[in-house]
Amino acid sequence: MRAAGKAWLSVVVLVAGIALLPGLLYLLGLALVEGWPKPADRTPSGVAACSSDPRTGRQPMNPWSFTAQFFGQDAMKNKVPDVEREAFWVARRHLSRQPQHGMLRWHLSSTALTIWITRHWSTAQIADTARKENVCRAWSKRRGPGGPMKR
């Protein structure tokens, strides 16, 4: 193979590796989770979720959209949907009950579990589990008075 062909092959392999990295990190993060959270039973009480924002038209998270939100002009101004925030707190609560490991492992598994929850649970299941786990109170403290949580 000529030098130019090897160079192009190297570029293609590098670009493919970068494109696959979010998915591979997601799978690694899921492999590091010990046990899966179970959604709470539907509560007939009719209690509202952590917020009253509409929950229709929600797109489940995926590793590539999660990564993409950190790039671009408005990267730090993106408002995180409430259902994703609730899923994060449910994942965090679940991981806090597991044996403690390093911080990198915790962040990787927390992110992967949050993505997994938004992909496999309905918005009602996320909201019910957030209420059952009492994460709405912790979430509202983080939000601060009168405004959404800032990244």
Q: Would you call 99 helix, strand, or coil by DSSP?
A: coil
d(CA 30, CA 28) in angstroms, rounded, equals: 5
pLDDT at residue 45, rounded to an integer? 52
Q: What is the DSSP string of 11-72?
A: HHHHHHHHHHHHHHHHHHHHHH--S---PPPPPTT----SS----TTPPPP-HHHHHHTTSS
Tell me the whole-structure pTM to 2 decimals: 0.77
pLDDT at residue 33, rounded to an integer? 92
pLDDT at residue 69, rounded to an integer? 82
d(CA 132, CA 120) in angstroms, rounded, equals: 18
pLDDT at residue 100, rounded to an integer? 85
Q: Per-residue pLDDT tens, the chain, 151 aa: give them.
A: 788 889 999 999 999 999 999 999 999 999 999 888 999 877 545 445 566 555 666 778 999 988 888 887 666 666 778 888 889 999 999 999 888 889 999 999 999 999 999 999 988 888 888 888 877 765 555 555 444 444 3
d(CA 32, CA 18) in angstroms, rounded, equals: 21
Selection from 55, 62, 53 nearest residue 122 by Cα: 55
Positive or negative, the Cα torsion across 74, 124, 114, 23?
negative
Domain spans of the chain?
3-143
Using the 8-state DSSP alphabet, how is residue 133 labeled? T
